[in-house]
Amino acid sequence: MMSQQNDGRDRIHKIKLGVAVVLFIVAGALAARSLLQDSPADYANDRGFKCSECGHDYAYVIRSGDFEPLECPKCHQRSAYQAEMCFWTKGPDGQYVAKTEPTLVLLKSRIDPTSDEPTYCPDCGHEVVGHNPRPSEALMLEASGREGRD
């Protein structure tokens, strides 16, 4: 009689221990996953900047307190602005096709907010606008295939 009760208590104790271990593993896995998920979010903050004086372009993470124009890391003038990305290029037949390495383009209206002059990509001549739309997924896939990145 007594020993049966002890067995039952032991079993409950083991189950509780098992649950605690499982919870510990789940918590660890969740923590690891959230750490892994943090890195792509950080890359999303990495913007393309371009210097209006020397044309240098670079990736930069905006920090609080930053205001444009930023100091250019190359010529050290305060003339770097966030750039738009042009994912277009001209194909052999003169048609616009996508490319995977964007050209960074400074919008005229970014440097001079009163300007309503359109900006054209110096590489391909495509008009570039704020939050410049990217080519479709299909065109980007075609581009990476053509560039041998697949």
Residues that bind Zn ion (CB under 5 A): 51, 53-54, 56, 72, 74-75, 86, 88, 103, 121, 123-124, 126
78 phi and psi angles, rounded to 5 deg: -85, 80
Closer CB to Zn ion, residue 20 or residue 136? 136
Q: Nearest CA to 128 among 48, 43, 53, 71?
A: 48
Residues 12 and 42: their CA atoms lie apart, in Å, by: 45
Could you tell me the smallest distance in angstroms from the CB atom of residue 145 to Zn ion?
Answer: 19
Closer CB to Zn ion, residue 106 or residue 121? 121
Helices and strands, counts by H and E, the chain: 3, 8
Closer CB to Zn ion, residue 8 or residue 73? 73
Distance of CA 61 to the CA centre of its chain: 10
Could you tell me the smallest distance in angstroms from the CB atom of residue 100 to Zn ion?
Answer: 13
- Residue 145's H or E segment, with its range, is helix 137-146
Closer CB to Zn ion, residue 70 or residue 121? 121
Could you tell me the smallest distance in angstroms from the CB atom of residue 32 to Zn ion?
Answer: 40
